Every structure is written in structure tokens, then in C-alpha cells.
Amino acid sequence: MNSIDIDIVRTALDWLDRGHRVTLGTVVRTWGSAPRPPGSLMIIRGDGQVAGSVSGGCIEDDLIGRVGRGELASRLPQVTSYGATAEESQRFGLPCGGTVQVVLEPLSAASQLRELLVAIESHRLVARRLDLSTGVVALEGADAGDTVRFDGRILLTVHGPRMRLLIVGGGQLSRYLAAMAVMLDYRVTVCDPREEYHEGWSAMDGVTLSKAMPDDLVLAMNLDANSAVVAVTHDPKLDDLALMEALRTPAFYVGALGSKRNNDLRRQRLGEHFGLADDELARLHGPVGLNLGALTPPEIALAIVAEMTALRRGADVHADLADWTASTTVCRTAA
């Protein structure tokens, strides 16, 4: 499985190797209701083929045409904006008040894409610095809190896994959960000291298997606010050890598989036997995942990553979806 960044970079390199002209588009700023956040990527091939997206379909056709005609970024990077006026928003089908600013960059062997790909595939977080006045690119180290920055001349984008997920248990559910998390750009560690669950994990790209005891591993990983922990073994001797330490960390999500009754008993154990405070116990998501009526392992994994995503994005999962869907519906129907 590949993160979005890896897909875009690999495709761009393939097109360049085959002799195509390739232009990279990066969303650098948005105002109002915009379909894609800053940092979203899109590549445009000289013959009009594309990969990725900068607006969900609103402005892509216009960008493809302008790049193909040589109107944008023919030699050096160039900035363009859409939706600056009400007329433009209506023309391109952008949500009400939405404005998108995009940097277009002609790619070449000097664009440091191959070096960027190596860094991402090594699970390193790296910043790519582009000087629009010269087209010169440099790579440098980045921190988990770094975001896209653009001052009109220098564009800094951040690539690689920003989030970490620790899965306690190496069973069937864990395989689906790990695969989905990798697609969402998590760096995944599966922890299971039981030998019978170790087979096959080495073949899963982007996932590390640990045979350590869960509590020791939680401490060793030094979990931060970009970390999540999900315990799925159904074995209190393993799950409780991980949760005991994880609930004391800044991890943004800590969840455990099991029924409401089992999780109520788990909270009682963690409080009585391991000394966790009420506010720490309240952080436990259990039963884990959104209530999607999930029954199969892939469905349960989907429910878990959906809850993790909602929490990370600050979404109210119980709110009316009408407000959220309004802008995307406008964008789709007007494109």
C-alpha cells in the first residue's frame, strides 16, 4: 500500500523516465470553503493525463488546458488562483466563497523527486523547499508539526508519514486495520509477543512487527499527540498492559476491541489494579470504532479508522451531515 505522496511521486518519476513533460501542482492556500487542503498534489502530463487532485474536479480541466497550452509554468514555477471573484467561483463550481491558490512547477531530473521518494519510503518525514524564482529544490528534515508554508517566493511542503499507529495483536483484524492505516499515511507498528501470530507480517509494506511486551513497547515508542493505539487481542493480559501505559501518553486516540460490558470491566480493572485516574479512563474508546453496524474484520477495521479520522479532524460524528455535504455536492454538480 502507498501513501498519496508516494503514488504521486512514483507516477511523476515514471512519466519523466518515459520522456513526458510533467508539471506538479500544489495547493498552497485556501480561503473560505475549499475542496482540498493545502499540500494537496496533482501532476499533469504534457498530453493531458493527470494523477492526484487539487480541487476534487472543480479547476482541474482548466489547469490541464492552460498547462498544455504553455500558459502556466512553461519554464519556471508559477502561482495561479481560482475563485478570487464570485464570477470565478460560479464558473469553476467552487463552493460559496471558496478560493484556491496553486503553485505549478515544471518537473525535471533536478526536482529531487527520486531523493524524495527514497526518504518517504524510508518512513522519514522530509520537507521539500522550492524557490519559485529559480526553480531550485532542496530537501531537509521536518518535524511532525510542520505544515505547508508559502511566502510568495519559497514553497515548503512536508512529505512522509506524520502519524503513528500501534496495533496490539497480530490477528486477522489487525491485517485489515494496518493496511487501511498505511493508506492513510500512518507509520504502523504491530505488537504481538505470541509467536503463532508472526507469520506474514514481514511482507506487508509500511508495517513493522514487534515481539516486545505491549507495555514495554508503548514506553519505548514515546507516543505523542500524532500517535494512536488500538488493542485488539481480546486477551486482557496483553491489551490491558498496552492500555495501562497508552492512556497516560498524549496519544490522540486509544481504543480497545470488545463489547460495552467488556470495556466497562476493563476500565474498572485499569482503575483498580493499575491506578489510572478517571480522566485517563475517559480517554479510552471502547467499544472501539464508529457504529457502522460492522460485522466482518474489514468492516470493523473501517469503523476504527473512521473514528480515528473523525477525532483527528475534529469532526462531530453525531452532527447532521447536511452542512458537510453541501460544499462537496456543489463542487461535484458544477464541475
Alpha helices in 149-235 (DSSP H): 172-183, 214-221
Question: Cβ(163)–Cβ(140) under 8 Å?
Answer: no
- 155 and 233 share a domain? no
Question: For residue 238, which amino acid is it?
Answer: L
| 324 inside domain | no
- Sole residue written with cell 480541466: 61
Instruction: Give the pLDDT confidence of 1-39 residue by residue, as tens digits.
Output: 346 678 899 999 999 999 999 999 999 998 765 667 888
Point out the domain boundary residue: 159, 174, 201.
159
pLDDT score at 324: 42
Q: Residue 112 to residues 76, 128, 137, 283: CA-CA distances in angstroms?
A: 15, 9, 7, 42
Tell me the CA distances in angstroms from 325 to 56, 94, 232, one per residue in order: 13, 13, 33
* Cα–Cα distance measured from residue 324 to residue 334, given in angstroms and rounded to the nearest whole number: 17
Residue 155 domain-assigned (yes or no): yes
Same domain for 129 and 189, yes or no, is no
Q: In the prediction, which pLDDT does 24 show?
A: 97
pLDDT score recorded for residue 317: 72
φ and ψ of 8, to 5 deg: -65, -45
Residues 111 and 172 in one domain: no
β 186-191/207-210 pair status: parallel
In angstroms, the Cα distances linking 233 to 166, 173, 191, 192 are 13, 9, 10, 9
Containing structural domain, residue 293? 163-313
Per-residue pLDDT, 332:
35
Whether 181 is covered by a domain: the verdict is yes
In a domain, 143, yes or no: yes
Return the percentage of the chain with pLDDT > 90, whole number.
Answer: 63
Shared domain for 134 and 174, answered yes or no, is no
Q: What local confidence, expressed as pLDDT, does residue 329 receive? A: 37
Residues 204 and 223 in one domain: yes
Please tell me whether residues 227 and 131 are part of one structural domain. no
Percent helix, strand and coil across the chain, each to the nearest 5:
40, 25, 40
**What pLDDT does residue 121 have?**
78
Last-in-domain residue among 138, 159, 180: 159
Q: 325 in a domain, yes or no?
A: no
Give the chain's domain count. 2
Q: Would you say residue 288 lies in a domain?
A: yes
| Domain annotation covers residue 227 | yes
**Cβ contacts of 194-200, under 8 Å, gap ≥ 24:** 194/170, 197/169, 197/170, 197/171, 198/170, 200/175
pTM here? 0.67
Cell numbers of 65, please? 488546458
- Residues 227, 123 within the same domain: no
Residue 159 · residue 185 · CB < 8 Å = no
Residue at 17 is within a domain: yes
Residue 179 and residue 104 share a domain: no
Same domain, 155 and 288: no
Q: Which helix (H) or strand (E) is 330 found in, with range? A: helix 322-334
Domain check: are 154 and 176 in the same one?
A: no
d(CA 308, CA 291): 13
So what's the pLDDT on residue 138? 96
CATH number at residue 208: 3.40.50.720
131 and 172 in a single domain? The answer is no
For residues 63 and 146, membership in a common domain is answered with yes
**How crowded is residue 234: how many other Cβ atoms within 10 Å of its Cβ?**
14
- Mean pLDDT by runs of 10 across the 335 residues of the chain is 72 96 94 75 94 82 92 94 64 61 95 92 87 96 84 92 89 96 90 92 86 94 91 92 94 94 93 92 94 94 96 76 42 34
Last residue of a domain, one of 159, 194, 227: 159
Phi, psi of 272 (to 5 degrees): -75, -40
